Chains A and B, each alone.
Chain A
């Protein structure tokens, strides 16, 4: 593995050297000449990474003469807006933004171009592109059938945030290593219901938060999986799944009431006010927590281990080029995405508040010192998660809704863990069979081995 990797790097280096020697040096200004005056529309979210990107966009516009128009959406409506755009062939967006769970949908419908469409064109590709510098898990996550489709941007991992002071007062020097430890050792000592103090809070609001942040988080570390794609069978009635979800129920005694209605903002708020000692949240919340009342006591670690190992939450986005817009706009869009996700832009972006998937920038000690969440995040990507932590399949939106429905019912106590998992398993099995969704399951873990 390592050997293959090294040789690949060597070849890449060699190739770069040759290009540099023979052809005249590539420059963005030169490459963008044919597209001067072109206007491209880029999809963004109402999140810090896109604010950062928008602040830096004028640099690109100045260099290239390409006009970049940002259209930002709340996460909730971004899939809807983009799907409607494609279905109606309305060419509203040139660069589209995909969550880790959407690539199959976009790719199999033929809505987006594979990156090779551009990387094979010498005039369009920056010799310094260095795709291998995107952490493996990210390239895998945005590959379908072995072909890469997206340039990762706004990339997160789940992290364990803890309140050093609260832990210390309860007699702990560091954060828990395992989920079991978190519940059995840290839980009782850090919870004082009468004082409104809790050891932990798990955001579980209806929708993607329930599905990903709450339910899925307790599947993987306990050895459970959603399904066996090859056998076309849901596997949510496994003992491992029961163990994981039962664990979530047991943990509730150390969490505030009403967690089932809490979204990211509420648990982050609770932690920031010093009422909750630990949360597992996306890396992107670092700034909010750092700026809160407990900022100086904020500790960050990799998420705890389960009986089956460490599987932290994995999520983030990538830019893909729409296949529905005219060639010139595609090329211009590619140039912008390439520029935005380049190694050179990574550091300025991080400093403006963005998170990126570039290994070179994230592992830079100088930057790591400034942003202490980078190290555990990078470690998570490299050793503690999988690219399809949330399953990749074409019918994910409805799949996720069904998981959220049943997951909440279990948490509300409407059904027991057993009943709930059985109900969810049965409903999802029927849905997957009916819609032939099994054929669309993408298993990017397979590509990881080849990387």
Chain B
């Protein structure tokens, strides 16, 4: 155990070792943790268990009482196509936006880290908060206005530099692109801020020492800065993945997953199954599958990258 502790904790452990911990000492960490655990059991685990049970029942809201059907919801969900399409659409969004957000986020973080102009730096820091804070449903409305085929400022801007207007909302590929752009616009600043906070943890002596050692940028970045960045990058990965998987408000308010199902992400699909088709059993099965997928993703990130950090 001791090997996995970081420096500050090692000190605590060292200091404590002489006294044998009392029963009270054993219980203390749990006293700190317990309230939150109880709360999460109530609002998290219990409902999940309930949904898990429902997922094995055939239950269309308002049309019949729940009846046990074993795995048939899962079979239906996995063979119908609409759900898997929505999952792959969501994963594609993740695959497109994640690298871009990380790269841009890192770039902005490095801009912030470079102390050329204090004034500009402060402004940038302030402004980065804005996209994060904008209500996604509001952003969707704004996308509708800005990307409008006829009246939108985007097409107008394109036209003024001689590019033919794009049918942003009416064409399936363009509509999907619109969602990618909005997603990147909203969450890249978050990546930038987290990475920038990690950069701030790099002790300046170390950085200065490295500067003396080599003037080339890349080796300095890779060997000196990067190790400090891994936890932040992992956090960004987990957060952005969650933002994409949970994405609902922004896409819904652009055009509810349209045109057709071009931007029908997984949350929209589950909401549609549950509260438009009222097929609660199938929606429960879909939610459980997504839960499994997101746990796997989180675990992968953490295994992959926190090991790097060690």
Interface set of A (CB-CB < 8 Å, partner B): 79-80, 83-84, 86-87, 105, 109, 111, 196, 205-207, 256-262, 270, 275, 394-395, 397-398, 401, 405, 408-409, 412, 414, 435
Contacts between the two chains (Cβ within 8 Å), count = 79
Contact A207 B259 (CB under 8 A): no
With a CB–CB cut-off of 8 A, which chain A residues contact B175? 261
Nearest CB in chain A: distance from B151 CB, A: 8
CB contact between A83 and one of B61, B167, B170, B272 (< 8 Å): that residue = B61
Contact A80 B63 (CB under 8 A): no
Sample of 23 A–B contacts (CB below 8 Å): A83-B62, A87-B62, A109-B62, A111-B62, A196-B150, A206-B257, A206-B261, A207-B258, A258-B149, A258-B171, A259-B170, A260-B170, A260-B259, A395-B63, A397-B276, A397-B278, A398-B279, A401-B277, A405-B82, A405-B260, A405-B261, A408-B258, A412-B172
State the main secondary structure of chain A at its contact with B. helix
Contact A258 B167 (CB under 8 A): yes
A80 touching B275 in the complex, CB below 8 Å, given contacts A87-B62, A261-B170: yes
Contact A206 B276 (CB under 8 A): no
The CA of A206 and the CA of B252, in the complex, are separated in Å by 11
Nearest CB in chain A: distance from B283 CB, A: 12
Nearest CB in chain A: distance from B150 CB, A: 7
Contact A401 B149 (CB under 8 A): no
With a CB–CB cut-off of 8 A, which chain B residues contact A394? 63
Contact A256 B61 (CB under 8 A): no
With a CB–CB cut-off of 8 A, which chain A residues contact B276? 79-80, 397-398, 401
The CA of A275 and the CA of B149, in the complex, are separated in Å by 13
A412 touching B260 in the complex, CB below 8 Å, given contacts A256-B149, A397-B277: yes
Q: Which residue of A lies closest to B60 (CB)?
A: A435
The CA of A261 and the CA of B166, in the complex, are separated in Å by 13
B residues contacting the other copy or chain, number (CB 8 A): 26
Contact B61 A261 (CB under 8 A): no
Contact B272 A401 (CB under 8 A): yes
B112 touches A (CB below 8 Å): no
The CA of A216 and the CA of B96, in the complex, are separated in Å by 37
Told that A84-B61, A261-B170 touch, could you supply 15 new A-B pairs with CB distance under 8 A?
Answer: A86-B62, A109-B63, A206-B261, A259-B170, A260-B258, A260-B260, A261-B175, A261-B259, A394-B63, A397-B276, A398-B279, A401-B276, A408-B260, A409-B260, A412-B172
With a CB–CB cut-off of 8 A, which chain B residues contact A409? 260
State the main secondary structure of chain B at its contact with A. loop
Nearest CB in chain B: distance from A398 CB, A: 4
Interface set of B (CB-CB < 8 Å, partner A): 60-63, 82, 149-150, 167, 169-172, 175, 255-261, 272, 275-279
Nearest CB in chain A: distance from B27 CB, A: 41
The CA of A406 and the CA of B277, in the complex, are separated in Å by 16
Contact B150 A261 (CB under 8 A): no
Nearest CB in chain B: distance from A286 CB, A: 23
A256 touching B150 in the complex, CB below 8 Å, given contacts A84-B61, A109-B63, A261-B175: yes
The CA of A257 and the CA of B166, in the complex, are separated in Å by 10
The CA of A249 and the CA of B63, in the complex, are separated in Å by 37
The CA of A86 and the CA of B62, in the complex, are separated in Å by 7
Contact A206 B256 (CB under 8 A): yes
A207 touching B256 in the complex, CB below 8 Å, given contacts A109-B63, A257-B149: yes
Q: Which residue of A lies closest to B255 (CB)?
A: A261
The CA of A257 and the CA of B171, in the complex, are separated in Å by 9
The CA of A26 and the CA of B203, in the complex, are separated in Å by 88
